[in-house]
Amino acid sequence: MKVDMGSNVFAKLRASVFQGCSWLWEEINQKEETKLMVCVALVIAIIGYTWMAKRSCKGKLKLPPGPQGLPLVGNLPFLDSQLHIYFTSLAKSYGPIIKLWLGSKLCVVVSSPSMAQAILKDHDTIFANRDVPVAALTISYGCQGLSWSPYGPHLTMLRKVCVREIMNKRNLDSFYTLRRREVRQMVSDIYAKIGTPVNLREMMFLTVLNVIMSMLWGGTLDGEERRSVGAEFRRVLEEIIELTGTPNVSDLFPILSVFDLQGIVRQMKKLSLWLDRILNSVIDQRLKMDRLAEGEEKEGREDFLQLLLRLTEEGDGKTSFTVTKLKGLLVDLLTGATDTTSTTMEWAMAEMMKHPEIMRRAQEELEEVVGKNNVVEESHLPKLSYLGAIFKEVLRLHPLVPFLVPHSPSQSCAVGGYMIPKGAQVLVNVWALHRDPKAWENPLEFQPERFLNATNKYEFSGNNFNYLPFGSGKRMCVGVPMAERMLTYVLASLLHSFEWQLPEGEKLNLSEKYAIVLKKETPLVAIPMPRLSIPELYY
């Protein structure tokens, strides 16, 4: 009888608390006792959170408007799994700045250029902090990397390291041979699969990962060791990205984080330990190689790891570049570059396969600039204006991170006549900005031509608040120069070398799956056929 009573209580709690919120419930451990613990803990927290929420709003400007929620859970039961679409629909009813209570967390979503400018420019310093999920805190060495670090001298130092030492034109130019090697290997691997289905998402992820690893420590791991480590890295990085984006009770109700009810922190710690062992091993090997080479004349360039290790020997105390910060930055580069870049390339290929006339025009441009008796080089990219327009249109219709990485104000701040309290989660709905009919003609259509005559108006500088694929302000993505090169170079090589078609009987599905990175719901699988008549151009 006791078991039946407990089951009945649990069923009622689940129905009232999580109905309509399957995006969260599906992520909770499926053991009955764990689910019961979650519900009981949430009920215990209700009185305290309700009291704190009411008290925090007294005597202040009103919070932004938004839909009515329920006690404790707020708006959670009413959320749609496609949050970007759901929040955009709410903006049509409540205006360009809205609030929702996600459990105990206050979430503010802005969906207009003026509100985005207020957050990312007018009050940039106040909103420069991150709302850090517990999973990211675990994998980032306590926010020692670039993505999740709080605003301050530490972040400023990391951004300087990336912009001045890593992403500058001279360094990127010097690593072109490494990028070329990996892209040519990709072309060769695809050529070996002519006439058979190729999973483009998987192939692109591995290519980008190999490029990043080659640039990070290209002189440290070679041959079979590099390939085996790369395959394991792919598995671990995909798990890290998935866990970081998993809805977590610990984030929605911080008072419960100590229990780690979904086991996300435990899983992330295991991945973090694996990654830390690999990074320590690579760092140790690089230090040994450098010690053996002491006194010898250095040839060629430094890989990024050499450069970063050299920076650890410099600095001025508080803002010095330590080995822990180095590892945090390496994790950011590995996780940030691989998933976002491969996802964008998959969207680009999917849109061109849906619009074959666009693919043909891009291939005609490649024939004119590159020729059919040559291979694509990065030196060709500045002349490929239509391909560049395709790249920009993909980022408009399918922004990498639909809400950017969440911001959080360091102090309460008035925006648009409403108060955004200190510590709130602030989301900039870039997906909505990029589809706003007031700013874009035929916003739902894939039309690269819209960028051909508007080059200066829609650069990646973050100054046009109708177009923010890489964000803006103090937390704008520092990897834009690398992304531009990689995306256009890989796409150009795929289009120049192959014709692409769907497997027989397959239909192209462009449905989206919401996550931190907005992915295609189903991976793109396509069949390559050779376009070039000279087989040697594929090796």
Q: Which domains are delineated in the chain?
A: 2-292+301-538 (1.10.630.10)
Q: How far is 9 from 40, CA to CA, in rounded Å?
A: 10
pLDDT of residue 416: 95
Four-CA torsion 269, 272, 278, 284, nearest 10 degrees: -100
CA angle 45, 46, 47 (to 5 degrees): 100
Local structure of 19: helix, strand or coil: coil
Tens-place pLDDT, residues 362-404: 999 999 999 999 999 999 999 999 999 999 999 999 999 999 9
What was the pLDDT predicted at 24? 55
Strand duo 418-420 + 425-428: pairing: unpaired
Name every residue whose Cβ is closer than 8 Å to that of residue 519 and which is 6 or more positions away in sequence: 343, 346, 512, 513
Q: What confidence score (pLDDT) does residue 234 get? A: 81
pLDDT lower than 70: segments of the chain: 1-60, 219-227, 295-301, 315-319, 454-456
Q: What is the pLDDT of residues 316-334, one digit of tens each?
A: 555 678 899 899 999 998 8
**β-strand partners of 538:** none
Question: Which tokens hold the place of 534?
Answer: 């000279």
Residue 188's CB: how many other CB atoms inside 10 A?
12
Cα distances (Å, whole numbers) of residue 186 to 205, 210, 238: 11, 10, 20
Whole-angstrom Cα Rg for the chain: 24
Where are the strands (E) in 179-271, listed by range?
198-199
- Tokens read off for 24: 């969260």
CA distance 195 to 190: 10
Phi–psi pair at 109, nearest 5 degrees? -120, 125
Q: Is the pTM of this model over 0.85?
A: yes
Q: What pLDDT sits at residue 16?
A: 39
Buried b (16+ CB within 10 A) or exposed e, 382-399: eebebbbbbbbbbbbbbb
Within 13 Å, how many C-alpha atoms sit on residue 45's CB side? Answer: 22
Six-digit token string for 92: 């049509």
Note the pLDDT of residue 110: 98
pLDDT at 322: 87
Distances (CA, A) of 155 to 10, 188, 319: 45, 41, 9
Q: Cβ-count burial of 30 within 10 angstroms (0-12 exposed, 13-18 middle, 19+ buried)?
A: exposed
